[in-house]
Amino acid sequence: MEHVTELGEVLGFLRAHPPFSGLAPDALAALGRACRISYYRRGALVIAAGDANRMLSVVRSGAVELRLGGTELNARLGEGECFGYPSLIRAMPAQNEVVALEDTLLYRIEAEAFLKLRAADADFRAFFDTDESARLRRAVARLRSRGALEQDSEETLGAHASIGSLVRRREVVTAAPGTTIAEAARLMAEHDVSTLPIRDGERLVGIITDKDLRRRVLAPGLDTAKPVAQVMTPSPVTIVEDAPVLTALVAMAERHIHHLPVTDASGRLVAVVSSNDILARLGSNSLIIAKEIAAARDDTEVARAAAQLPHAIAGLVGAGVDADHVARYASTIGEGAHRRLLDLGEAALGPPPVDYALVCFGSLARAEQALGSDQDNGFIFGEDYVPERHDGYFEALSRHLCDGLDGAGYRYCPGDIMATNPAYRCTGAQWQARFAHWIASPDPQAVLETTIFFDMRCLAGEARLVEDLRRTVFAQARSNRIFLSFVARAAAATRVPLGFFRNFLLQDDADEGRVFDLKSQAIAPVVDLARVHALANGIEATNTLERLRAAREAGGLDAEAARDLGAAFEFVRDVRFRHQAEQIAQGTAPSNKLDPERLSRFDREHLRDAFKLIRQQLDKLRADFAGGLS
């Protein structure tokens, strides 16, 4: 016999929507019993700002609008979304006015039952966290652990596994620096290793490989009785055992090396990891691309190698690799393509007649490339540069570089920020003069167009030319409050969305669109924020996360803000890479734009958190730097 009965429709609905979907049956039933079902006609007031709210509300059908204090649009919620919990958790009057946007049926759960379950269930509590930052950081952590879980089940890629998990723990075969080359070779043959670390006591001093024996010993006919120290690669790059596999991958791709000695925290050598070990784990062509680009004999080969990048990225993304590593990897490949094309150009044209540097700007300079980036570059010449005598060479070299890059998927810059543009082929002094003009007489439009130049990095040639320019420019920028305020205002002017409502993007003024531009609406604002702080604090780093960290250390950004922005930046970039990987899988060109309809509920809700954190920092920026103008 049944007495008090559960309402199947109520429970069935709750069970289909997070966080209720994760509840045990008895916990769900308890919430179901604590439910009141209410109907609101379109336009009806559900909760007034300042009301003592006693219910967690779940939209069963229809939609509601939340306005902070009854004025500022905060959110629009549709079927399955919850509101009213911050006032329950804080035991404070409601801050938002809630109005039915359509005829709406609400399931309203009594405060007591909600709070009781919240106290008992950690996942439930986490879902209703009123701290967006904590929730977003958990989401980022979950993305990573999800990657780790997926690789366990599918045995694909242990990109987040540590290097230590990849190497077999056994005594590493090593030799002392004084060992003869012949003895070293015998040791390698006996233990069937292709790499031999050279150790002076406990200290790693060098490394020698099969290839070194071929090239440095056999080919030149060197006496094998000589000490191995003469032919080893001294002071090799090492990696600590708890570093992620990805870090090793990036290190190898950057330096075109295939073996990395692995050390423990105390610096003691514990193993040697090879590119094959990593490739076996990654199962992707990620390392091969870097190698192929470096070995390309012409533009076509560079382009062919670079054409594999989208699939390599999709592979890394699919394996749950975090956005920062994916971006650094993509940037490494981009750098390699620039360098190789420049080398090929120099090989065709002969050695450069004067000192010069290839400088890149924007995302590549920040090591934050995604797919579909265009190129932004220029040449900086030393003092000896005479246009009449030398520009012919560099004009030809720039054409070689920029055409090659376009062919390799790094499209011509629509704004013509390329070495092929004579304006961006000039001496350090001329570059300085250009920057000095921007800084001394800023105007809003020029600021928008020139900020990208403040992210600069030397890709090839004389690094000091770029470094001198950067240092001079940053010193000028830092001391010019008016310029800083222009840059800050330009950054703060970005309209970061509020969130999503059904398949629409929700903006400040309730203006809705079907297109969400991840780059301009979510990623660029964080980049801009970090740049303002870098300029204001004389920070050398160009990478956004490094700038945020440095700004925190310099006191320009409080620890919470730096952490929040970092988490927001990571999350929005993760969404972008997953979106791009999906596009690649579908055979469409990777872009930064997506239809909100394609976003999962997890992404929507955490993007909303990320937006909020970014908006808070933009507001703060506006307040902090507006002073330079008034």
Q: Which of 49, 50, 61, 251 binds other proteins (CB under 8 A)?
A: 61
Distance between CA atoms of residues 594 and 520, nearest Å: 12
Distance between CA atoms of residues 542 and 561, nearest Å: 19
Alpha-carbon torsion angle 150, 154, 159, 165, nearest 10: 110
Q: Which of 23, 28, 60, 212 binds other proteins (CB under 8 A)?
A: 60
Distance between CA atoms of residues 245 and 108, nearest Å: 48
Q: Which of 8, 201, 221, 350 binds other proteins (CB under 8 A)?
A: 8
Question: What SS3 class is residue 39?
Answer: strand
Min separation Cβ 59 and other proteins, Å: 11
**DSSP H or E run through 544:** helix 544-554
Per-residue b or e along 106-141, where b marks 16 or more CB atoms closer than 10 Å to that residue's CB? bbbbbbebbbebbeebeebeebbbeebbebbbbbbe
**DSSP H or E run through 73:** strand 72-77
Q: Which amino acid is at 163?
A: I
Min separation Cβ 17 and other proteins, Å: 13
Should residue 153 be labelled a site residue for other proteins when binding is judged by CB under 8 A? Answer: no
Min separation Cβ 128 and other proteins, Å: 20
Residues 359-388 binding other proteins (CB under 8 A) are none
The token pair that represents 170 in the structure block? 């056994």
DSSP string, 481-529: HHHHHHHHHHHHT-----EEETTEEE-TTS-EES-EEHIIIIIHHHHHH
Q: Which of 21, 22, 41, 479 binds other proteins (CB under 8 A)?
A: 41
Name the DSSP letter for residue 413.
P
For 5, counting Cβ atoms within 10 Å of its Cβ (0-12 exposed, 13-18 middle, 19+ buried), the class is exposed
| Candidates 6-14, 149-157, 537-545, 592-600; binding stretch for other proteins (CB under 8 A) | 6-14
Should residue 501 be labelled a site residue for other proteins when binding is judged by CB under 8 A? Answer: no
Min separation Cβ 91 and other proteins, Å: 22
Min separation Cβ 34 and other proteins, Å: 7
Should residue 33 be labelled a site residue for other proteins when binding is judged by CB under 8 A? Answer: yes
Should residue 10 be labelled a site residue for other proteins when binding is judged by CB under 8 A? Answer: yes
Selection from 550, 485, 518 nearest residue 614 by Cα: 518
Residues 87-116 binding other proteins (CB under 8 A) are 102-105, 108
Kindly tell me which of 62 and 378 has the beta carbon lying closer to other proteins.
62
Instruction: Report how many residues bind other proteins under the rule CB under 8 A.
Output: 30
Distance between CA atoms of residues 568 and 563, nearest Å: 9
Distance between CA atoms of residues 420 and 412, nearest Å: 10
Should residue 266 be labelled a site residue for other proteins when binding is judged by CB under 8 A? Answer: no
| Candidates 38-46, 210-218, 402-410, 477-485; binding stretch for other proteins (CB under 8 A) | 38-46
Selection from 482, 490, 494, 484 nearest residue 522 by Cα: 494
Min separation Cβ 39 and other proteins, Å: 4
Should residue 44 be labelled a site residue for other proteins when binding is judged by CB under 8 A? Answer: yes
Should residue 34 be labelled a site residue for other proteins when binding is judged by CB under 8 A? Answer: yes
The token pair that represents 154 in the structure block? 């599918």
Judge whether 107 and 64 are in contact, CB under 8 Å.
no
Should residue 4 be labelled a site residue for other proteins when binding is judged by CB under 8 A? Answer: yes
Name the DSSP letter for residue 231.
T
Q: Which of 20, 62, 118, 380 binds other proteins (CB under 8 A)?
A: 62
Kindly tell me which of 57 and 247 has the beta carbon lying closer to other proteins.
57
Min separation Cβ 2 and other proteins, Å: 5
Should residue 47 be labelled a site residue for other proteins when binding is judged by CB under 8 A? Answer: no
Distance between CA atoms of residues 204 and 28, nearest Å: 60
Min separation Cβ 25 and other proteins, Å: 16
C-alpha pair distances (Å), 278 with each of 271, 332, 570: 14, 17, 24
Kindly tell me which of 110 and 183 has the beta carbon lying closer to other proteins.
110
Kindly tell me which of 12 and 93 has the beta carbon lying closer to other proteins.
12
Kindly tell me which of 37 and 515 has the beta carbon lying closer to other proteins.
37
Kindly tell me which of 46 and 459 has the beta carbon lying closer to other proteins.
46
Kindly tell me which of 3 and 170 has the beta carbon lying closer to other proteins.
3
Q: Which of 2, 26, 171, 202 binds other proteins (CB under 8 A)?
A: 2
Kindly tell me which of 10 and 365 has the beta carbon lying closer to other proteins.
10
Should residue 26 be labelled a site residue for other proteins when binding is judged by CB under 8 A? Answer: no
Distance between CA atoms of residues 452 and 443, nearest Å: 15
Distance between CA atoms of residues 224 and 572, nearest Å: 56
Should residue 32 be labelled a site residue for other proteins when binding is judged by CB under 8 A? Answer: yes
Should residue 35 be labelled a site residue for other proteins when binding is judged by CB under 8 A? Answer: yes
Residues near other proteins, by CB under 8 A: 1-10, 13, 32-41, 44, 60-62, 102-105, 108
